[in-house]
Chain A
Amino acid sequence: MTLLERFSTRKTFGHGIHPIAHKEATAELAIRRLPFAKQMIVPLAQHLGAPAKAIVSVGQEVVRGEPIAEPGGFVSVPMHSPVTGVVKSVDRLVATSSGPKTPAIIIDTYAASDQKVLFEGAVDIWQLTPKKLVHAIQDSGMVGLGGAAFPSHVKLLPPKGMSIDKVIINGCECEPYLTCDHRIMLEYTDKIILGIQMVMAAVAAKRAIIGVEDNKSDAFEMIQSKLPKDGSISCELVETKYPQGAEKMLINSLLNKEVPSGGIPAEIGVAVYNVGTMAQLGDLLPQSRGLIERVVTVSGYGVNKPGNYLVPIGTPLRFVLEQVGLKDDFSKIIMGGPMMGMTTASLDVAITKGVSGVVVLAPQSFENEKPQAYPCIKCGACLSACPISLNPSMLGQLAMVRDYGTMEGGYHLNDCFECGCCTYVCPSNLPLTQYFRIAKAINRKIKVKEL
């Protein structure tokens, strides 16, 4: 934290970067619904943790909102049918944007159906015990909609000896291009507040703080005007800076506390949720529905009609791009934001629960072609960019000599959450984040081998 930041009233964390936001194309556009695709692809592993298990069979007719897969363990959630249709296959391997092919349920949509959600039943959520409320959250198939897709109910059941007294709601949306959370805050404000109250009831938390970056002051004012009068929920502006929306950075900004190295936010009594997750919870739980659609920002140079679209989960990416119109010249399609998202190699991947955006970037030109990497000049730019104060320069040099053990043991590699700040600022164009991802993958492989 620089001296200037220390005296500033805006809450923030130390280090970080300021990438160009590119949000103007979609920030003013209201959320619109996309039509249903002819065929839906619902991968069974859309979330972190154990994949779900299919409970439907080939040829079975399913109704929109009907559960089609059950959780495969505690850290897992069920899946619900995004359309009324017939199950074509339950175990076909489909491409994913992360690489390996995973089994998915394929559903052919009934074109003539009115696509009403028939699987629902009103419940009085305030009568439920906290335990049942957590169960209801798992049954709704809810995962973190900010991008990590971590099952939401798991954060509400912290390990023994920890308890949650504060809930932090993440409305930062620091990734360039993405505006889905911004629109959700403006359009579904009441549902966000309702969702927060339910989560607070589930863990008996006394306080909830919504953090909103100060480039979204309209959303901040909208939330301020609808906050409950008892003062249990508050909304605060934080500095517009990347990666403000990272869980550990937002906790640091709002509470001035640090999550211990290798630890989870529950260790300091905090659970962090995305505003999109809260809006969906506020919508789904009172009707005991399942998560079947989400808001996705489709933006970037190569998109003819950029916007914030309500997309059924399982819609093939090819269909989404047909609807919004894809230009012929583009360089890559990124699932998620450009900083932490994954470039996809196939258009046959599905929009899953964790996809917050689809960004189609401009073709490679002389100005933005892949620059040549030069040796590290020890300028320290990465050190003053790394939000968790690691030493990316040293880590990068260790990666080049493949000393992955020292990276983990001596330089806290596992605390890196791959935000990409070091790669963004490096004047030698070193692919540092890529090195760290490789190092982590190899360390994981070695650990599995040793077991």
Chain B
Amino acid sequence: MDELTSNLIAIGFMAGLGLILASILVLANKRLFVYEDPRIDDVEELLPAANCGACGSPGCRPFAEGLIDGTFEPSQCTVNAKESIQNIANYLGVDAGEANKRVARVACAGGNHVALIRASYKGLNSCRGAALVSGGGKGCVWGCLGMGDCGAVCDFDAITMDDYGLPIVDEEKCTACGNCVDICPKDLFELHSIEHQLFVACKNLEKGKETETECEVVCTACERCVVDSPEELITTSNNLAVINYEKNSLASPIAVNRCPTGAIVWFDNKGGYRTGKAGKKIIRKEPLPIG
């Protein structure tokens, strides 16, 4: 057998094999075909691909599937830009929906200029680590430890620490994905509709004046805010003021001015919050000494 024939045999054999395998693939493609709505891919293109989970589904593709079968509305993706939401709505021919923007809020206003630190913590630079050592050394065991675990887990750079060791949430960037809620060892983060402007920034469960020795902006459950709140908008439970957000439309900054410590705050939805007269009195800029 000369070289040419053996080459031809080899080429012929490979071509035949390719043909057989190709026909198996063609057959498999016909037989095992799963129909997938081509719109899913198109919609997924328009989503931010952050896979943050803020919408309630595990990631962007399941959300896209939910959009097609109508379980979700385009605006439920809070991360997405407004134009993209409208594009999805136009593409699918549905209403964009009116999802309430939600943001994370911190239930502690006790920065190191107003809250007492009993012992200085030296060790792993993380709130989670500090919380394991006798609560972290802060006088108020419910308060923010200020080492910024929340900022580190935020995928959207929405949380920064201010000069007093308190996290500031950028309401523009926050998508309410809930990462900070999970990481905070003191459970200080709550996800709220941006319309919930009245907020109790304290989690101290102790009662009475003594608590003020540990933090100047503590909620002492004095009930002054409760007295003139309309229709039981504010009540107290567990020595804390509690706002019934079902009656949110009745909320007004009156309660803020009633508060003798500045524990209740009013978010102005412009990136900041304001406290009452008592809260304004605190003008200290330096951290309190440890002791």
Contact = CB atoms under 8 A, between A and B. Distances in A.
* Same complex: yes
B158 interface: no
Interface stretch (A143-151, A178-186, A209-217, A338-346): A338-346
Interface string A341-371: 0111110000000000000000010000010
A99 B128 CA distance: 12
Contact of B134 (A97, A435, A442): A97
A336 to B, nearest CB: 12
Interface in B134-151: 134-138, 141
B206 A99 contact: no
B123 interface: yes
Residue in B118, B123, B134 with the greatest tally of chain A CB atoms within 10 Å: B134
Interface in A79-104: 93, 95-101
Contact of B141 (A101, A332, A344): A101
A100 B141 contact: yes
B270 interface: no
B128 to A, nearest CB: 4
Contacts of A345: 118-119, 121, 133-138
13 contacts: A99-B131, A332-B119, A342-B133, A342-B134, A345-B137, A431-B123, A434-B124, A437-B129, A438-B128, A441-B128, A442-B182, A445-B182, A449-B182
A99 B135 CA distance: 4
A438 B129 contact: yes
B280 interface: no
Contacts of A445: 182
A346 B119 contact: yes
The 10 tightest CB contacts between A and B, nearest first, are A99-B135, A345-B119, A345-B134, A345-B137, A438-B128, A431-B124, A434-B124, A345-B118, A344-B134, A434-B129
A95 B123 contact: no
A441 B134 contact: no
Given A370-B123, A431-B124, A442-B182, A99 B118 contact: no
B289 to A, nearest CB: 15
B284 interface: no
B182 A446 contact: yes
Nearest to B153: A402
Contact of B123 (A346, A434, A442): A434
A215 to B, nearest CB: 29
B240 to A, nearest CB: 13
Contact of B122 (A100, A342, A370, A437): A370
Given A101-B141, A346-B119, A437 B132 contact: yes
A435 B137 CA distance: 19
Interface of A: 93, 95-101, 332, 342-346, 364, 370, 402, 431, 434-435, 437-438, 441-442, 445-446, 449
A441 B182 contact: no
B96 interface: no
Nearest to A332: B119
| Chain B at the A interface: SS class | loop
A398 B279 CA distance: 43
Given A441-B185, A442-B128, A445-B182, A99 B134 contact: yes
A96 B132 CA distance: 12
Contact of A100 (B121, B123, B135, B182): B135
Given A346-B118, A431-B129, A101 B123 contact: no
A234 to B, nearest CB: 39
Contacts of B136: 99, 345
Contacts of A441: 128, 131-132, 185
A434 B182 contact: no
Contacts of A344: 134
Contacts of B138: 345
A370 B121 CA distance: 11
A343 B128 contact: no
B191 to A, nearest CB: 13
Contacts of B128: 438, 441-442
B105 to A, nearest CB: 19
A343 B141 contact: no
A115 to B, nearest CB: 29
Contacts of A332: 119
B205 interface: yes
A98 B134 contact: yes
Given A345-B121, A442-B182, 9 more contacts: A93-B206, A99-B133, A345-B133, A345-B138, A431-B123, A441-B128, A441-B131, A446-B182, A449-B182
A435 B121 CA distance: 16
Contacts of B185: 441
A441 B122 CA distance: 20
Given A343-B134, A346-B119, A99 B141 contact: yes
Interface in B101-135: 118-119, 121-124, 126, 128-129, 131-135
A97 B135 CA distance: 8
Contacts of B182: 442, 445-446, 449
Contacts of A449: 182
Contacts of A93: 205-206
Contacts of A402: 153
A431 B123 CA distance: 8
A434 B118 CA distance: 21
B206 A101 contact: yes
B133 to A, nearest CB: 5
